[in-house]
């Protein structure tokens, strides 16, 4: 299953209504409601209060809770907030600090929000959003690890033009260390194959790039 098929399957799963009367642990239909609890996630509009229904399986005795498709278990932020942050970092070419600042301003209606709405009464107070650059970095890192674990067959079957280009992007890290990100792209479609991070642009590093691209499905 390539990355496009995985994305399509994920979207379909989000639109299919889950049968919460079925226990996700043992598959039994013998379940009963087992109270509720509240969550207060940040969404793009504002911070919301969501009542989550809990269930108890009469067969295995385990409990589970309903989770709305827009929320991620264990996270203070909705999926759309995380996707907006990643989008600003990738397509907006912002630093992690600026991404966190812009998203905080939009969600909590503070900071830069007061610059955007200078004509409005600034005495109105809203709940402060505490999104930090380290949280955005954690989202990006988790997404990168998931993609790295799915390199094999990632772009298999995806049409390409056959006109490829390669390049290396140098970056200076903390402590004076330097690394180069080697990229292989389709010059027409813009398709980017899984990159390789190396210490130099020697022949062995480029060989690793083409080996990884072959694993991802490059003919």
Q: In what order do the strands lie in the sheet with 178-186?
A: 164-172, 178-186, 196-198
Task: Name the CA dihedral angle for 94, 100, 103, 105, rounded to a multiple of 10 degrees.
Answer: -110
Q: How far apart are CA 110 and CA 121, in angstroms?
A: 12
Task: Taking each helix axis as running N to C, give the angle between helix 79-90 and helix 133-148, from 0 to 180 degrees, rounded to the nearest 10.
Answer: 90
Question: How does pLDDT run across 120-148, given as a tens digit for each residue?
Answer: 776 666 788 999 999 999 999 999 898 88
Domain boundaries, the chain: 20-76, 79-148, 164-216
pTM above 0.85, yes or no: no
Phi first, then psi: what are they for 105, rounded to 5°? Answer: -65, -40
pLDDT tens for the chain, 219 residues long, are: 888 888 888 888 777 777 888 998 999 999 999 999 999 999 988 889 999 999 999 999 999 998 888 888 889 999 999 999 999 998 998 999 999 999 999 998 888 888 888 887 766 667 889 999 999 999 999 998 988 888 898 888 888 888 999 999 898 887 888 999 999 999 998 889 999 998 888 888 899 999 999 999 988
């Amino acid at each position: 299953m390539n990355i496009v098929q995985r994305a399509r399957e994920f979207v379909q799963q989000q639109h299919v209504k889950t049968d919460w009367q079925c226990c996700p642990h043992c598959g039994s239909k013998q379940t009963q409601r087992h109270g509720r609890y509240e969550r207060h996630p940040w969404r793009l509009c504002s911070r919301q209060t969501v009542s989550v229904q809990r269930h108890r399986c009469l067969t295995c005795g385990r409990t589970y809770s309903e989770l709305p498709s827009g929320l991620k278990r264990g996270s203070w932020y909705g999926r759309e907030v995380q996707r907006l942050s990643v989008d600003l970092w990738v397509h907006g070419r912002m630093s992690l600090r600026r991404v966190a600042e812009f998203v905080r301003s939009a969600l909590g209606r503070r900071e830069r929000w007061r610059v955007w709405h200078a004509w409005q009464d600034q005495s109105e107070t809203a709940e402060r959003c505490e999104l930090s650059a380290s949280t955005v970095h954690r989202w990006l890192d988790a997404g990168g690890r998931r993609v790295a674990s799915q390199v094999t067959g990632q772009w298999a079957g995806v049409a390409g033009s056959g006109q490829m280009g390669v390049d290396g992007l140098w970056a200076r890290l903390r402590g004076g260390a330097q690394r180069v990100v080697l990229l292989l792209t389709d010059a027409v479609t813009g398709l980017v194959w899984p990159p390789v991070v190396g210490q130099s642009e020697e022949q062995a590093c480029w060989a690793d790039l083409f080996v990884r691209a072959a694993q991802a499905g490059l003919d």
